[in-house]
Amino acid sequence: MALTKKNGDFKDKHPKLRAGGTTRSAPPRRGEHFASTDLPTLCSVNERTIRSYGDNMPPAFSDEERSRITEQLLNAATLLFSTQGLRKTSLEELTAPAGIAKSSLYAFFASKEDLYFEAMLRQSEQVRRRVIDEGLNLGTDTRDALRRFLRATIAELHTNLLYRRLMSHPQEMAAVAAKLTPERMAAAQGGPMADLLTFLDTRVEGDPEVLLGVLRAVLLTPLHADHLGAELYPAVMDRLIDAVTEGITSC
């Protein structure tokens, strides 16, 4: 006898029910409705799903924990990105010093690139103070100001590994920029080079972009100091700085 959900008994169609066993009902076809006996099964599935998502959610952090962990993440990022670069640095390496899971990084930064950018911003503020406030702005005249800027920046390249990395691997900054919004990237527009560009525009004759390029070319030389030799390098840099600053301020 062909029975239906509406007017028949399932026992004639399902041997397990005739034997006192149980079976899981099939999903309803179009036009049918779940019976009330299906609800426990649906609820248990939803509970398992919620628990599964809950297990993977980052834990909540107090303000004190957030401050401590943020600082630890930035310190780890500065060291690792300086020595290994963006691509070779893993999330696990970044989060391990802070004692948090890899997924918890996203409770502090939008991405690995965002963390790199924040570490760069922090370095940029420190670099600006040393090369602009304590360098360029203390010059007795335009030529002396540019000499001070170049010497302070070269010293920074020898001691600040992340700043050196940014100068020697510009493609990493391009990779970071590709993952960030224009609004986020706008935070980097006020760095040391922007201050230098403004100085050149107001104090030196000529296209400020070209002049900036000339000074940046000088700053690439320390990246190849080994090719010049330890004995010659200091004297070479002194003559190069004098020649370039005299040349662009004599026009």
User: For residue 205, is it within any domain?
Assistant: yes
Token match 């662009």: residue?
248
pLDDT of residue 38: 47
Q: Are 116 and 176 in contact (CB under 8 A)?
A: yes
In a domain, residue 70? The reply is yes
On whether residue 145 sits in a domain, the answer given is yes
Is 47 within the bounds of a domain?
Answer: no
pTM of this prediction? Answer: 0.70
**Predicted pLDDT of residue 150:** 98
Per-residue pLDDT, 58: 55
- pLDDT at 28 (0 to 100): 52
Per-residue pLDDT, 59: 62
The per-residue pLDDT for 188 is 82
The CATH number that applies at residue 180 is 1.10.357.10
Range of the domain at 91: 63-249
76-135 pLDDT tens trace: 999 999 999 999 999 999 999 999 999 999 999 999 999 999 999 998 889 999 999 999
- 5 domain residue, yes or no: no
Low-confidence ranges of the chain (pLDDT < 50): 1-8, 10-11, 13-24, 34-55
Question: So what's the pLDDT on residue 6?
Answer: 45
- Does residue 230 belong to any structural domain of this protein? yes
Give the number of domains in the chain.
1
